[in-house]
Amino acid sequence: MTLTTRFAPSPTGYLHVGNVRTALHNWLFAKKHGGRFLLRLDDTDTERSREEYADAIRADLAWLGLLPDAEYRQSDRLARYNEQFETLVAAGRIYPCFETAEELEVRRKIQLSRGLPPVYDRAALNLTPDEIAAKRTAGERPHWRFRLDTGAHVHWQDLIRGDSHIDPASLSDPVVRRADGSYLYMLPSVIDDIDMGVTHVIRGEDHVTNSGVQIQMFEALGAQPPAFAHEALITGTEGALSKRLGSAGMAHFREAGIEPVAIAALLARLGTSDSVEPVTSLDPLVEHFDFAHFGRSAARFDEAELRQLNARILHQLDYDAVANRLPPGMDAAAWAVLRPNLETVADAADWWQVIEGPVEPLANDGDYLALAADTLESLPWEPGIWSALTGALKAATARKGKDLFLPLRRALTGRDHGPEMAGLLLLIGRDRALERLRARTN
């Protein structure tokens, strides 16, 4: 059987960092093992699901390079869910319940007051067929629960957590279908995983209990459960996942000039024992992805670390990877000069303006700059022109260090800092350089 993973977001909002990490790890694991990565839109919540969110999910995955091998929508599969639902009803594993939310809340409070866990008491299982028929005739519509087998713990070998188990007796039988006929998450997900041949389910550790319940659903439908990997959740720099981080969509990072490969490089290693490395493609991330390297501690996401990583990656990117985002006229030679000083590709436009001009005056050492202009004019314009200019000025004035270099940088660029002047001066060009030096001599 082909190894198959799936990313199953609900199109009720935009993807955030936690969602993307889940999608990325599913994609990396599938690609490493020559498998398939599926996108499944869990859109059974018809009131909150929006096509604009589905489109945004696809666009974000494409931007990140996480293209699925196939896409499915749960809204297209209701007939299949109904079919399997009836199979489980006939087998006695799903049963109707008529309690209202208020009645259930009263029962929970009574259980808690007696020191008992607030677990559903399965009172609906005592209803006779005639009583059920009478309630339906009276217009009462049931919700439906999956009957857990409480005879023994559910065990599985988690790819991250190791030996894992839940005690079904400590849980309420989960509601799988509402009174209005709509399905909750648990059962359709299992049916989809079976039909789509999903072999590995990779998700957050907040789904551990769900996995134990769903293993019983797989078995009730006569299917082998997939392997599970439950990852520690992400925290922010303050210790908990901040509201801003939890709601920050990929548009936030695009607008900030973050490269998609930087997000992938950080999230691929987040929660592992591996160091985060600047990479320029997803290939190294695929090669080194290994659940054995994941720990149980919460994974800490730091946007400042992401920005630093982004700059390190940018300094390695070839011109062809960014050419369509650079200012008109900026070529590979200019990119090579500016790249080491950039934090985002957008910063290149700012430095291109410095090169093209005009620039604001930032020097008043008139005599020195006049000498620099005369010296520059007398020298041959060639690749070593900066060294030749500063060497000649040093010999003529005995200046050195900042006194030698900074007035020239300020006059030529209007900045105190920036890329190496040896490269910048060649990009600025002879005529513009002379004009700028002489413009600062008054």
Query: Range(s) for CATH 1.10.10.350 in the chain?
Result: 366-439
Q: Helix or strand or coil: residue 6?
A: strand
Residues 6+ apart with CB under 8 A from 401: none
Q: Helix or strand or coil: residue 141?
A: coil
| Ramachandran sector of residue 194 (left: φ over 0; alpha: ψ -120 to 50; beta: rest) | alpha
- pLDDT (0 to 100) of residue 360: 85
Q: Is the pTM of this model over 0.85?
A: yes
- pLDDT (0 to 100) of residue 180: 94
Between the two ends of the chain, the Cα-to-Cα distance in Å is 79
How is residue 349 written in tokens? 């436009």
Phi, then psi, of 240 in degrees rounded to 5: -120, 160
Residues 6+ apart with CB under 8 A from 137: none
Phi, then psi, of 422 in degrees rounded to 5: -60, -40
For strands 143-146 and 70-73, give the pairing.
unpaired
- pLDDT (0 to 100) of residue 240: 53
Q: Helix or strand or coil: residue 280?
A: coil
- Residue ranges in the chain whose pLDDT is less than 70: 237-248, 363, 440-442
Question: Tell me, what amino acid is at 76?
Answer: D
How is residue 313 written in tokens? 């990656």
Rounded alpha-carbon distances, angstroms, from residue 416 to 160, 338, 408: 50, 15, 10
Count of residues for the chain? 442
Return the CATH number of 366-439, one of 1.10.10.350, 3.30.1360.120, 3.40.1390.10, 3.30.420.40: 1.10.10.350
Q: Tokens 């995983």 identify what position?
A: 193
